[in-house]
Amino acid sequence: MSNKSSIIIQTIKALRLARGYSQEELADRLSVDLKTYSNWETGKVQMTIEKINRIASALNVDPREIWDDTKWVSKPYKLNDNIVSEESVQYLKPVNTDVEQLQNEIMILKEQNLALTRAYNELFEKKRELSKVTP
């Protein structure tokens, strides 16, 4: 799985969780079974533009929120080796530099969130270890 695919999948999962949906609830909104959706979100099945657009619609977000960084989209307009129509790419291109700046800020915030989550998990593990030692 490419780094961009991984970022897209992580973004979809984060958006799903932020909206309080389980995988099963989102699968129902997409009219697919849980296994199918789970395979999409875990990257077992290659993500396509059509799937991303369906998921964005079900999550009630602009597909660009899932794409996150459109600078990598360039001719021949490929995503995971799937050819993308030029019309789709026009929709995904940033309209101005403000969008690109916001996308960079979002990536920084995501990285900070990930670092905080890791730090929290480490503290939680240390607390659990200490509670085992202390009677």
The pLDDT tens digits of the residues spanning 79-129 come to 444 444 445 544 444 444 556 777 778 888 888 888 888 888 899 888 888
Among 3.40.228.10, 3.30.70.360, 1.10.260.40, 2.40.50.140, name the CATH number for the domain at 1-93: 1.10.260.40
Helix (H/G/I), strand (E/B), else coil: 135: coil
CA atoms within 13 A on the CB side of 21: 21
pTM of the model: 0.50
Domain ranges of the chain: 1-93, 96-135
pLDDT digit string (tens) for 39-86?
998 888 888 888 999 999 999 888 888 875 443 333 333 444 444 444
